[in-house]
Amino acid sequence: MNRKVVNLGLALFAATVLASGPAFADGDAAKGKKVFNKCKACHALEAGKNKIGPSLHGVMGRAAGAVEGFKYSKAMMESGLTWDEETLANYLEKPKKVVPGTKMAFAGLKKEKQRDDVIAYIKENAM
């Protein structure tokens, strides 16, 4: 097979893989601050500050249901989730679908860009 055709095929494959990567890598933390206004009635970014929901400080890489002193639903405690960008994006889209029985009353963020932005904001301000 022609080497140029093979190289072109590999380049197209690589471009497709890169383009299909997670969108949250493109989140805008400044815009995410505005989106977080929907979250801050129930969640704080400061360590040890639980509200209606648990503190989001250090959420990335943390097991679901692991914030000291917060009373989680049984469903969240047994979910087996570890929070990373992908898991958080899925949860923020439809919390009750990802963790049926969660206490979180929020219906979710329908717009992918808002989810990407708020995740970028949380990563920048809660770690």
pLDDT tens digits, 20-60: 344 445 899 999 999 999 999 999 999 999 999 999 999 99
Q: Do 43 and 57 touch, CB atoms closer than 8 A?
A: no
The whole model's pTM is what?
0.78
pLDDT tens digits, 53-99: 999 999 999 999 999 999 999 999 999 999 999 999 999 999 999 99
* pLDDT band for position 119 (cuts 50, 70, 90): very high
Q: Is the pLDDT of residue 7 over 90?
A: no
